[in-house]
Structure formats: structure tokens, C-alpha cells
Amino acid sequence: MNVTVIGAGTMGNGIAHVFAQSGHAVTLVDLDQSRLDAALGTIDANLGRQVKKERITAEQQEATLGRIATQTDLARGVSEADLVVEAATEDATLKAKIFEQMDDAAPEAAILASNTSSISITQIAAATRRPDQVIGMHFFNPVPVMTLVEVVRGLATSDATYETVRQLSEDLGKVPVEVNDAAGFVSNRVLMPMVNEAVFCVHEGVATAEAVDTVMKLGMAHPMGPLTLADFIGLDVCLAILEVLHRELGEDKYRPCPLLRKMVAAGYLGRKSGQGFYTYD
């Protein structure tokens, strides 16, 4: 299958990695060639980890990289796609624009999927003339490691589109879970209030970030504490998701903590900016 991935950030490069690894021809699209080059470097390094752990061979690493082409022009990038997975910034206006352009340039039969973590699939689909072929394909970071794909059905998503994406997710070695279109779907509706509450604990002086994380790691067996996880996801992404939950569901329990807003305003975005609840080299 020809798969095009839009956006070469953390999620985009992980998605390109897993599709290429399972034998698909991948075109990775971003506006900026330097971001594409950086993404290929990251994919190479992550494949290198798998080689070191003897999960794949050096030949498979080379072959996987060889299946990934890059493109800075969106229309050209989707022109031969059977499936497009959009993993651009979490911004509803931007996504609507990208889907409109993809709808114009992609083959008629192509499925247009979004990796959005909280924006309505029904709303994204409305920007196209093929809402029955639009679906959410929500992966988790690090994509090569996390086995879940939250498959989100918009109001108009057809059974055929759902079935293709479900089967494809299984072929990638992932476990697809069917979810209907609602703010934050299941994953972030459950995860983000916990992350937000952890930030409130620091904001209100209940405990330090380290203490909050240790409680959740050792007491609840979470692989990462919620604030380490927030830094890993990106504090800007966490804030954007909470804003959607708060706006769409209209309840105070989703109100983003003022400390989270303040940190994002300061450019403390977590691991990717070098500073969040923790400092990174």
C-alpha cells in the first residue's frame, strides 16, 4: 500500500517508521526539508535500537529506511496515496485546511486518516467531499513501542473505511480499539484529567513534581509519572487537548491548571524544548 504521512514531528516519524517496517511504501511530507532530514535521522536511530535488541536485523533497518521517501509539496506527496495519515500540529483550522488540500489532490479511493488526539473527526471530515473515507487513526508515543491504535469513527465514516483501517492496524502488529467521535476520544478524556490534576498538585504546593511522579509510579505502577509523561507528550499538546475537553464538554473538571498555561506561555514545552517539569540536555 502507498501510505503518506503528513507531518514529520514525533508522531509523524513514528507512524512512518511502523508503516515502512511492515513493508508499505511511505511518503513523509513536511513543509521543511530540514525537519524531514531530522525525522529520517530519528527513524534510523530508533531502528538502530531495535537492531541492538536483536528484534530486527541491520538489513531490515536498511530496507525500512529505503521504503521512506520525503516530500515538501503536500499535493505531490498524496497524489498516489491509498492511505494518508495526517499528524500535523493540533490545530483545528490547520487540519481543516490540510484535509481540504488532500481531498483535492489524493486519488478518489484514498482513505484520509487523522492522528488527532482530540479534534473532532466529524468536523475534520466536513472539510472534504469524502467524509465516509475520513477516520481517526490515533497512535501513541513512542509509536514503534505502544501497541494501541484508537480507531475513531466520525459520524459519516463508512463501515468499509473502518474495516480497512482496523485490518491495517492489526497488520502493523497493533491492537485497534473502536471509539466513537467525542472530545478527547477515550484515551485523552481519561488521561488528561489525571495529568492536569498532577499539575494542580504542584501548583497548590501539595507536593513536588518528583513526589507526584513517584507516588504514581510506585503506588500505581505507571511506567512514567504523570508529569514526566506530560513533558514527554509536550506541555503545549496537553494544554491544547485540555482546552478542547473543557470547551466541548463544558465541565470544570477539564479546566487547564494555570501553572500549565504559564509554563506553555514561557516556552517550557517539556522534553522537546529542554525544559518542562524537568530539565533535559
- Which residues are known catalytic residues? 117, 138, 150, 188
**Rounded to the nearest 10 degrees, what angle do helices 209-220 and 226-233 cross at?**
110
Q: How far is the CB of 139 from ligand CAA (least distance, A)?
A: 7
- Of 31 and 146, the one with the shorter C-beta distance to ligand CAA is 146
49, three cell numbers: 535500537
Selected from 146, 155, 220, 266, the binder of ligand CAA by CB under 6 A is 146
Q: Is 250 in the site for ligand CAA (CB under 6 A)?
A: no
* Cβ-proximal residue to ligand CAA, closest one: 117
Q: Is 224 in the site for ligand CAA (CB under 6 A)?
A: yes
- 270 annotated to bind ligand: no
Selected from 159, 223, 250, 281, the binder of ligand CAA by CB under 6 A is 223
Cα(242)–Cα(237) distance, rounded to whole angstroms?
9
Interface residues for ligand CAA in 63-122 (CB under 6 A)? 117
| Count of residues interacting with ligand CAA (CB under 6 A) | 19
Q: Is 141 in the site for ligand CAA (CB under 6 A)?
A: yes
Count of CB atoms situated within 10 Å of the CB of 32: 10
- 8 annotated to bind ligand: yes
Q: Is 60 in the site for ligand CAA (CB under 6 A)?
A: no
- Of 46 and 128, the one with the shorter C-beta distance to ligand CAA is 46
Binding-residue pattern over the window 155 to 194 for ligand CAA, x denoting contact by CB under 6 A: --------------------------------xx------
280, three cell numbers: 533535559
Residues 247/248/251/253 CA torsion (nearest 10 deg): -80
9, three cell numbers: 514531528
Q: Is 48 in the site for ligand CAA (CB under 6 A)?
A: no
- 9 annotated to bind ligand: yes
Only one residue has cell 492522528, namely 115
Q: Is 49 in the site for ligand CAA (CB under 6 A)?
A: yes
149, three cell numbers: 491504535
- Of 75 and 175, the one with the shorter C-beta distance to ligand CAA is 175
Cα(10)–Cα(150) distance, rounded to whole angstroms?
17
Q: Is 53 in the site for ligand CAA (CB under 6 A)?
A: yes
Please choose, from the candidates 119, 87, 116, 117, the residue with its C-alpha nearest in 3D space to the C-alpha of residue 19. 87
Count of CB atoms situated within 10 Å of the CB of 206: 12
Count of CB atoms situated within 10 Å of the CB of 140: 19
**Partners of residue 136 on adjacent β-strands:** 114, 152
- Of 168 and 245, the one with the shorter C-beta distance to ligand CAA is 245
**Partners of residue 29 on adjacent β-strands:** 6, 71
Exposure pattern of 70-84 as b/e (b: 16+ CB <10 Å)?
Answer: bbeebeebbbebbbb
**Residue list for the binding site for NAD(+):** 7-12, 30, 90, 95, 117, 141, 272
Binding site residues, ligand CAA, CB under 6 A: 46, 49-50, 53, 55, 117, 140-142, 144-146, 187-188, 223-224, 229, 233, 237
